[in-house]
Each structure stands twice: as structure tokens, then as C-alpha cells.
Amino acid sequence: MRTIHHHQQGSRDWLQHRASIFNASEAPSVMGASKYTSRAELMRQKSTGLTPEVNAATQALFDRGHAVEGPTVALIEQAIDESLAPVVASLKIDGMVLGASYDGLSLMEDVACEIKLWNEELAAQVRAGELSPHYFWQLEHQLIVTPSLERIAFATSDGTPERFVWMEYRPVPGRREALLAGWAQFKEDLAAYVPAESVAPVAVAAPVESLPAVVVQMSGSLAVHSNLDAFGTALRTFIARIPEAPSSDQEFADTEAACKALKRAEDALEAEDKRALDGMADVATVRRVMADLRELARTTRLQREKMVKARKEQLRLEQVQRGRTALAKYLQGLNQRLGGGYMPDIPADFAGVIAGKKNLTSIADAIDGELARAKIAANEVADRIQINLQALPGLAGERVGLTPDLAALVLKSADDFAAVVGQRVAAQRQAEEKRAAELVEKERARIVAEERALAEVKVRQEQEAAAREQRAREEAEALERRQREAAAAPTPAPSAAPVAAPVAANVVPMPTKAPADDGARINLSDIKDRLAPIQITAEGLASLGFPHVAQEKASKLYRASDLGAICTALIRHLEMVRAQRMVA
């Protein structure tokens, strides 16, 4: 919800209001682009509420800026033909309160202005229409706080028409999202921030204790008077106090100053040595002592200079590694949130951002800024991955095996991810439909083949049945013909009772060899129907040598291929009965 605050800009109420929210002028610091305040320093201020004291020079600069705002707003109003008034507003979004103090805002809140004190370098940017991040992040923040804003008139001026240039700034795609992500990361880091006890001041070398002057005097009697013993003791004490492994900007500054003092001691010893030689003949003892002390000062200085350089490099490497370790841990946390190792490597140039940085404080700030930028980029990637993972079940349904390369796919935009998964679902469905069609076609072909085979068997059975019936008819006709011939033959004269051929009444001729069984079956009723009006029973067929071969419920089954043989057996049985009757 957007809110208008009736605070005069620069007043105590206005300052208190700004302390509790995230302000447009702070946006460049959050994005690591401010010329004046680092992200780490802004975090310290937000956490502690402590801000730097405004000195007289800075206050004078502020006063000059406020003085030119009125005349410059008038120049802008004339240029854009709009009336503008200063407004303080805030907007709550994504759990954050973002604030902006507009130098001028139109009645319809679609146009605003932002004024900066005249600066030749900035004027060149305005003329080119290309602002640096130090300026455009503030404008993007102002566009977020007032959603109805369409454009901002950005000007640099000293209040006179001669030094007045302006440009129109409109929202740039992608910057709003990046800034909101930056503020979200800042809010997260601020919640876990533990401020240091104090802000490290700029390291200035502590006053270096001066070593005693070297004095060597030669008398005419070659007696040597010097303070070399005292000087040597002081030199060794001085060296013992030099940090052997500096780890702070203060210790580095003290060590470097001590090295300079040692160099002065070397020069003093060498000069006194030369002066002593100029005053008298060679005195081995004096020269040896001075040479030893000079070498001690020299070797200590060189060792400390090398050590300072190496130690600085070591601490730079430690800071770089700190950034890399923190980023790796953050990516690990994002993977845990996503439920898998989906996060790619997020590029972070920790070594590059500390190039040219001379002290540990600026190096640490640069590392923290690059870490925050990498976290913001990682959050953007993680959000995209999470959206795709949540959409996957709905896109793919219950299908499996569609995304063996899921870790790479989830990095795509939501639209591209949906398109790829949709194409794979369509391809899989098409393949399934093709396989199903092939199975149906195979089943259809199998059924057709079975029907064809059954038809061929039926035709063969019908042909065999017709052949059997034909043989039965021929045999019946032959029997009938024999019977007619027998009836037509003359009856022989009575004579002695003929001796009948012995016929066993109960002996039944065996049927001829039956054809091969083709598996077809007929029941007893079918046989009776075909042999009607002759009455056939199962017992009668069994007596003829044709027992049933199967039974379904009460129905007895016989080989259909035996029908012809049954007929032949019946014919022979009838002929035998007829012959017996004739004999009787």
C-alpha cells in the first residue's frame, strides 16, 4: 500500500522516517554502485542507526543543493509543461517498506523530477542520455514507490539556465526486478548482521620512536668514543617491537613506518662510518661494529618489507576465499530449498573487485559487495528453478522418463521449460499411440489368420464329411443292388436242409481302419439324426466297436471322422441279421 508522508525534506521527522525504511538514495549502495557509501557501511548504519557526522563542508554542499532545487524545478516545469511539487512517499512491497523523496511530482503522479547539483561529468552523461548505475538505481527505486510514474525528468543544474541540462528517464526492463532482488538480499543479510564494535579508522602509522643519533669521535691518540653500544641496544629493542605478522591496517601502517625508520638508521650509520674514516685512519673495531649494526638494520628492513608484501597478499587471498566459501555455502542452502542439486555455478569475480584496493577495510567491503551481487543472481536462478519444478507435475502428468536432463532444463525460462516439456509429452504420447496402433494391427492380423485357419479346417471337414456321405451312399446303393439281385434270383428247389454257414450271433465284424482323427467331435444325437429312422444307442455303438471318446455333461462324444465307419458297421450288422433270418 502506497502512503504519502507530510514530512518536510531535511527535517528531523523526515530523517527519522528515512531511518526506518529503505530509501531511493540508498539503492545505489545496495546494488554496490554508490560513489559515497559502500553496501557494508549502509548495513552498519541501518543496523545501528548511527550515521556519519555531517561536517561543515558537507553541510555547505547540502545547502547549495537545496538552494538550486527551486529554480531548477521551475526550469523543468517550463521544459515539460507540468506543475511539480515535492512529495515524500512510501510503498510496502514483498514485506519491505520502500521510500522516496521526490524533488517534484505531478498532480496525476505520472511525471516526477530528480535534481543533482551541477557537475560537468554528470552533465556529459545527461547529454548522452546514459546515466551510470550510481544515478539510475535511485530513479528505478522512485519508479517502484509510485507505480503510476511513467517518466522522471533528471536534471543537473546550478539553478541557472546556462548550467541546466536534463533528460527523460523511463523504466528499463529487468532493472526493477534486479533492484527488488537486491533489496530482498539486503534485508536478509541485515537480519543476520552483527555489527563490529567500531568502524576501523583509516590506518595512520603510529609515531615511530626515533633511534638515538650515532656519534663516533676519534681523538688524536686514536681513542674511540662512541655510543654504539647504546645505539645497538636501542636498535634491537626497536626491531623487537615491529609486528612480525601484521593482520590489520594499523599494524601494516606501523610496520611500513618502522621500515622507513630502519632505512634512516642505515643511512645514518653509513654516513657516520664515512665521517669517522675521514677523521682518522682505519679503526677496525669501530668499523666492524658500525657495519654489523648497519647490516642488522638493513636485513631487518628488507625482511619486514617482504613480509608486509607477502602478508598483504595472503590476507587478500583469504578475503577472496572467504567470499568463495560464503557463496558456496549459500548455493548449498538454495539446493536444499529446491530439494536437489539444481543450482549451477554462479560467477563471482572476487579477485577482480579487490584490484587496486589498498587496505583491508576496502577489500572486505568489495568482497561483501560482490558476494551480495552473486547472492542476488543466485536467488533469481533459484526462483526460476523452483517455478519450473512446481510446474513439472502439471505439465507432464503421471509420465516418467521425460526429463533425464532435468538439471539443465530447469535453468530455462518458464515459457521455454513448458515448451520443451510439452513437446516431449506430445512426442511420448505419439509414440504410445503408434505402439498401440501397431498392437491393434497385430491383434487384428492374428484374428484374421485364426479365422482363415478355422475356415480352412471347416472346409476340409465339410469336404471329408461329403466324401464319407458319398461313400456311404455308394455302399448303400451297392447293398440295395445286391438285395435286388438276390430277390430276383430263382428260388432253388427244396432239398435236404441246407447246412447254414456257422454264424456267431454275437460276433460283430470289426470296422475297417478309421481315418486319422482330426479332432472334430459329434454327439450321439447327431449320429441318431444322421442315421434316422434307425435307433442308435451308446451301448449299441460300443458293441459295434465305437465307444465314446469324451463326455460333456450328459452328452457322449464320438470322433466325427468315425461316422463313415459306423455306417459301414451298421450296414454289415444289418446284412448279417438279414442272412440269419433267411437261414431261419
Distance (Å, rounded) from C-alpha 210 to C-alpha 219? 28
Burial of 459 per CB tally in 10 Å (0-12, 13-18, 19+): exposed
* Strands of the 555-559 sheet, one edge to the other: 521-523, 555-559, 550-552
Q: Detail the DSSP E strand segments found in 414-456.
A: none
Q: Any idea where the domains of the chain sit in the sequence?
A: 2-191, 216-338, 521-583
Greater model confidence, 437 or 521: 437
What is the arithmetic mean of pLDDT over 87-111? 94
Domain spanning 2-191: CATH 3.90.320.10: yes
User: Hey, CA dihedral for 471, 476, 482, 484, is it positive or negative?
Assistant: negative
Greater model confidence, 516 or 478: 478
What is the arithmetic mean of pLDDT over 556-569? 86
Amino acid at 177: E
**pLDDT, position 531:** 60
H helix runs in 397-413, sequence order:
406-409
With a CB cutoff of 8 Å and minimum separation 6, the contacts of 206 are 250, 253, 254, 257
Task: Determine phi and psi for 225, rounding to 5 degrees.
Answer: -115, 120
User: What is the per-residue pLDDT across 213-234, written as a single tens digit (0 to 9) for each?
Assistant: 655 554 444 444 567 777 778 7
Whether the per-residue pLDDT at 299 is higher than 90: the answer is no
Distance (Å, rounded) from C-alpha 287 to C-alpha 291? 6
Mean pLDDT across the chain: 82
Whether the per-residue pLDDT at 301 is higher than 60: the answer is yes
Greater model confidence, 316 or 115: 115
Question: Is the CB of residue 550 less than 8 Å from the CB of residue 536?
Answer: no
Q: Detail the DSSP E strand segments found in 363-491.
A: none
First to last CA, the chain: 131
Give 504's pLDDT tier (boundaries 50, 70, 90): very low
**pLDDT, position 29:** 93
Whether the per-residue pLDDT at 535 is higher than 60: the answer is yes
Question: Is the CB of residue 557 less than 8 Å from the CB of residue 549?
Answer: yes
**3-class DSSP state for residue 531?**
helix
Return the C-alpha torsion angle 555, 556, 561, 563, nearest 10: -90
Q: Among all chains, which residue has been given the C-alpha cell 538454495?
A: 334
Greater model confidence, 579 or 546: 546
Amino acid at 470: Q
**3-class DSSP state for residue 262?**
helix
Distance (Å, rounded) from C-alpha 387 to C-alpha 410? 9
Amino acid at 400: V
Q: Among all chains, which residue has been given the C-alpha cell 601484521?
A: 246
3-state secondary structure 49-111: CCCCCCCHHHHHHHHHHHHHHHHHHHHHHHHHCCCCEEEEEEEEECCEEEEEEEEEECCCCCE
Distance (Å, rounded) from C-alpha 32 to C-alpha 366? 8
Q: Which of 179-183, 187-191, 392-396, 484-488 has the lowest mean pLDDT?
A: 484-488
What is the arithmetic mean of pLDDT over 349-361? 84
Highest mean pLDDT among 119-128, 476-485, 548-557: 119-128
Highest mean pLDDT among 121-135, 452-466, 524-538: 121-135
| Residue 48, CA distances (Å) to 13, 52, 198, 511 in order | 18, 12, 11, 122
**pLDDT, position 211:** 55
For residue 361 the three cell numbers come to 577495510
Question: Is the CB of residue 384 less than 8 Å from the CB of residue 414?
Answer: yes
**pLDDT, position 110:** 95
Greater model confidence, 578 or 200: 578
**Of 93, 179, 73, 83, residue with least CA distance to 133:** 179
Distance (Å, rounded) from C-alpha 184 to C-alpha 457? 83
Specify the pTM. Answer: 0.48
Amino acid at 129: G
Q: Which of 51-55, 79-83, 216-220, 317-321 has the lowest mean pLDDT?
A: 216-220
CA 572 to chain centre: 95
**pLDDT, position 351:** 82
With a CB cutoff of 8 Å and minimum separation 6, the contacts of 179 are 27, 30, 31, 137, 140, 141, 144
Give 119's pLDDT tier (boundaries 50, 70, 90): very high
What percent of the chain has pLDDT above 90?
33
Distance (Å, rounded) from C-alpha 68 to C-alpha 82? 19
Whether the per-residue pLDDT at 528 is higher than 60: the answer is yes
What is the arithmetic mean of pLDDT over 371-383? 92
**pLDDT, position 100:** 95
What is the arithmetic mean of pLDDT over 343-362? 85
Residue-wise burial string across 461-492, b where 16 or more C-beta atoms lie within 10 A, e elsewhere:
eeebbeebeeebeeeeeeeeeeeeeeeeeeee
Question: Is the CB of residue 185 less than 8 Å from the CB of residue 375?
Answer: yes
**Of 376, 455, 396, residue with least CA distance to 179:** 376
Question: Is the CB of residue 269 less than 8 Å from the CB of residue 234?
Answer: no
Distance (Å, rounded) from C-alpha 45 to C-alpha 372? 17
**pLDDT, position 507:** 43
User: What is the per-residue pLDDT across 157-216, written as a single tens digit (0 to 9) for each?
Assistant: 999 999 999 999 999 999 999 999 999 999 988 888 876 544 444 454 555 455 556 555
What percent of the chain has pLDDT above 70?
85
Question: Is the CB of residue 113 less than 8 Å from the CB of residue 104?
Answer: yes
**pLDDT, position 241:** 82
